[in-house]
Structure 1
């Protein structure tokens, strides 16, 4: 019997034929918990995946949200990030799971979204995957890098080309502080990604500043193109 990783109820009371013949892994969470997560559906911003249905038309320009338009108006970050694909809305259920996963060291929760991440990555064009790194201090505090955990459970090979400079937690910063934050990354190894398309993997897209700082550095160091895949799209922009 398999128990839901979230509520510990039985997950597979009725096995599908694929599961019965071991052609498909049994679910790791029950259907009730699965339905508490809200997948991003319908029209989203062509750059950052932000759902457009809830936005006033004045905040949308040719299928792109106003925040992404402003990013492209910044000469420093123009063209740095081709696109970000987020899978879920950062609703209350997702906030709780990410809090358990990220701040309470519940590594096994990376399994919840492995299939979704793997299938979405197959739809994207890239040469290598870069997980957003943690500083040494933050890694010691959390015990593992959540972005690396998501990649590993999804079967994505990681190329560690970035290092993170220790700073205050992003979650503690306001939107303005995030947007005005100094560069928090540095390059470890340039030769491994010159002229290649890079896919950055992270847990949450909020303002987009973290991904664009990373993308900017990678492009400056020779990457051909940078895109991103994130588990959830926050509504902080």
Structure 2
């Protein structure tokens, strides 16, 4: 019997025969903690995974949210990101999880959603997986790249293609400031992505600016298609 990585309580040890015969990992968190997270279910924006049920119909065009329609009206970013698939909403439980994992350096928490990320990645067509990088300054502050940790815990092979320069945290910027900001990424290695479908891994989709900046450079470097897989879909617009 193991302990929940979030609350420390014992995880139900009555697992049956499946973990032994199917080589499944035992649960990393207890049922009570798991139930606090909200999987995205029902209709979602096909471009960013935003739940459509929570939106006013005036902000929906067919199967896309208005925000994603605006992105596609931008000649610079039109068509660079084939889509983002998020697993969970960014509710209070997820906020607490991300804060503990990302900002307090609790690396082992990468295991909590490894199974879901692995399953989702298998369903998204890709040849190469790339994690959104941190700048060297951020990497030294946190001790690890949270996007890379999530990918590695899920068993994904990550290509070291992108690099990031240090800049002000994107979370401090408004939408207009993000759009006006210079691209914070650079491409280190083009040959591994040329004519290939690339899957970007990150923790949160908020406005989509970070993913689209990365996708733009990957497409410019020769990627055939770029889509993203993120743990959570934030409420940013």
TM-score range, shorter chain: over 0.9
Taking the TM superposition and a 5 Å limit, the aligned residue runs for 1:92-107 are 92-107=92-107
- Would you identify which runs of 4 or more consecutive aligned residues in structure 1 move more than 6 Å? none
Q: Distance in 2 between matches of 1:23 and 1:166?
A: 41
Distance 1:226 1:20, change over 3 A: closer
Q: Distance in 2 between matches of 1:218 and 1:150?
A: 21
Per the alignment, residue 117 of structure 2 pairs with 117
Per the alignment, residue 235 of structure 1 pairs with 235
Q: Distance in 2 between matches of 1:176 and 1:106?
A: 33
TM superposition shift of 1:165: 1.1
Q: Distance in 2 between matches of 1:65 and 1:199?
A: 22
Question: Is structure 2 residue 157 aligned with structure 1 residue 163?
Answer: no
- Taking only aligned residues, the RMSD between alpha carbons, in angstroms, comes to 1.1
The question of whether the paired residues in 2 share the 8 Å contact of 1:179 and 1:207 is answered with no
TM superposition shift of 1:177: 2.1
TM superposition shift of 1:236: 1.1
- Where in structure 2 are there 5+ consecutive unaligned residues? none
TM superposition shift of 1:101: 0.6
TM superposition shift of 1:181: 1.8
The question of whether the paired residues in 2 share the 8 Å contact of 1:218 and 1:226 is answered with yes
Per the alignment, residue 18 of structure 1 pairs with 18
Taking the TM superposition and a 5 Å limit, the aligned residue runs for 1:119-158 are 119-158=119-158
Q: Distance in 2 between matches of 1:156 and 1:15?
A: 26
Per the alignment, residue 215 of structure 2 pairs with 215
| TM-score, reference length from structure 1 | 0.97
Count of aligned pairs between the two proteins: 237
Q: Distance in 1 between matches of 2:18 and 2:51?
A: 34
Per the alignment, residue 205 of structure 2 pairs with 205
Q: Distance in 2 between matches of 1:21 and 1:193?
A: 37
- Secondary structure of 2:23 counterpart: coil
Q: Distance in 2 between matches of 1:199 and 1:81?
A: 10
The question of whether the paired residues in 2 share the 8 Å contact of 1:12 and 1:26 is answered with no
Distance 1:221 1:23, change over 3 A: closer
Q: Distance in 1 between matches of 2:24 and 2:84?
A: 29
Taking the TM superposition and a 5 Å limit, the aligned residue runs for 1:40-59 are 40-59=40-59
Per the alignment, residue 63 of structure 1 pairs with 63
| TM-score, reference length from structure 2 | 0.97
Give deviations 1:167-203, integer Å, cap 9, x for gaps.
Answer: 0112222333223221100110111211111000000
